[in-house]
Amino acid sequence: MKVLVINAGSSSMKFTLFSMADKKVLAKGQFERLGTDKPNMIYKRLSDGLKFEGIVPVKNLEEALKRVCAKLVDPADGVMKELSEIVAIGHRVLLGGEKITKPVKVDEEVKAIIREYIPLGPLHNPANLAGIEACEAAMPGVPNVAVFDTQFHMTMPPEAYLYAIPYEYYRKYGIRKYGFHGTSHRYVTLATADFLGKKPEDVTLITCHLGNGCSMAAVKNGKVIDTTMGLTPLEGLMMGTRSGDLDPAVVIRLIDQGHTSKEVDTILNKKSGLYGVGGINSGDMRDMITAAEGGNEQAELALKMFARRVVKYIGAYYVLLGGVDALVFTGGVGEYSVPMRKRITSQIEVLGVKLDDARNKECFGKAGVISTDDSAWKMIVMPTDEELMIAKDTVATLGL
């Protein structure tokens, strides 16, 4: 039973083909720089390490998907004889508001709801929808399942998801905290519970998905009670290019200074965060650490700000949860940035937990405990696998 997972973005498309009998990845890859004159395709076959990378001229997601499909059944490079072996396609979708809170088989009504929430997800929802429609065109009759980024966060109570603005705006416009990266937070919650030898409903965690996009979740007895991202993925932590939390008056001030709302949106989403503060023309954590180690004071400031935001939320969530079983790091930065994990954890020893430097270095992209044995609770690195979570949700939704 083969399931294809698609994560379509505004200029990229990631794909993973699973054999669900043994939960193994058969092939994976992505298209980058879609919409430019040099779209780049990366394709990997996992059984023998075969890899293809190169410029493949395609105009849009639909053409990109056709190239992927051709590669999957290619006699030399493929992993199956024909596309009919794919029984379902799972899609990462940003937002379905309060109307869709669980994985769902895609039909015209579902697509209409995804379109309805484009104003809250202008970059993601259109691309997610385009990915679904590209799959419908390339593989007619194969069921598509939408798995929403917000799903895991729907257990938040009203006091967590409402903003302190007139209640009518929640009712009229759906303005509330939705939270994102939910598939990742859910996966690492389940994986960490298993790692600790507990049931999901018996674990209380602070999960930190740190990458180019960053979010944290307070998970009590396996369910989210709060998360850092809000109405959009802009709220919360400082990120690669996103500002995270700020005084709403900053937006008003920028508009008063002559910036349009669209310009302010671009500033806060694409020109802020590590990129905006660090001053090295990059929002990549690795580049920022290298610059700071080389004596760049502005880069060092950006790193201090990044760590401070995470530490603040750890403290807040620790109190909200009444103590935790573990603090979990995941995502590209969370899994691989040994220096940033040290910057963060060195500031929370007051909570009874201490970093083991040797363990921290050993856990480079792999699961493990990085706190000392005498710590009151654990700090853990847990690699995420959003694609596998989406594949499992797809199978469960369709009852396969």
- Please count the CA atoms within 13 angstroms of the CA of 214 that sit on its side-chain side: 28
Q: Look at residue 11 and tell me whether its pLDDT is greater than 90.
A: no
Residue among 60, 27, 57 at smallest CA distance from 41: 57
Distances (CA, A) of 110 to 14, 154, 245, 275: 22, 18, 31, 36
* Known catalytic residue at 149: yes
- Please count the CA atoms within 13 angstroms of the CA of 87 that sit on its side-chain side: 15
Q: Which of 74, 77, 107, 149 is an active site residue? A: 149
What pLDDT, on a 0 to 100 scale, did the predictor assign at position 10?
Answer: 78
- Hey, which bits of the chain come out as E strands? 2-8, 13-19, 24-32, 40-45, 51-55, 86-93, 104-105, 144-148, 205-210, 214-220, 223-227, 326-330, 368-369, 378-381
What pLDDT, on a 0 to 100 scale, did the predictor assign at position 123?
Answer: 80
pTM of the full structure: 0.94
Q: Look at residue 9 and tell me whether its pLDDT is greater than 90.
A: no
Q: Give the N- to C-terminal CA distance of the chain in Å, as an integer.
A: 9
Tens digit of pLDDT for each residue in 271-320?
Answer: 999 999 999 999 999 999 999 999 999 999 999 999 999 999 999 999 99
Residue among 106, 109, 111 at smallest CA distance from 125: 111
Residues 6+ apart with CB under 8 A from 236: 214, 215, 216, 227, 228, 229, 230, 244, 245, 309, 313
Check: CB of residue 228 under 8 Å from CB of residue 235: yes
Task: For residues 294 and 40, give the distance between their C-alpha atoms in angstroms, rounded to a whole number.
Answer: 32
What pLDDT, on a 0 to 100 scale, did the predictor assign at position 284?
Answer: 95
Tell me the average pLDDT across 359-384: 98
Task: For residues 271 and 267, give the distance between their C-alpha atoms in angstroms, rounded to a whole number.
Answer: 5
Tens digit of pLDDT for each residue in 227-266?
Answer: 999 999 999 999 999 999 999 999 999 999 999 999 999 9
Task: For residues 205 and 217, give the distance between their C-alpha atoms in angstroms, rounded to a whole number.
Answer: 8
Check: CB of residue 296 under 8 Å from CB of residue 175: no
Q: Phi and psi for 68 in degrees, rounded to 5?
A: -65, -45
What pLDDT, on a 0 to 100 scale, did the predictor assign at position 120?
Answer: 85
Tell me the average pLDDT across 352-363: 98
pLDDT bracket for residue 119 (50, 70, 90): confident
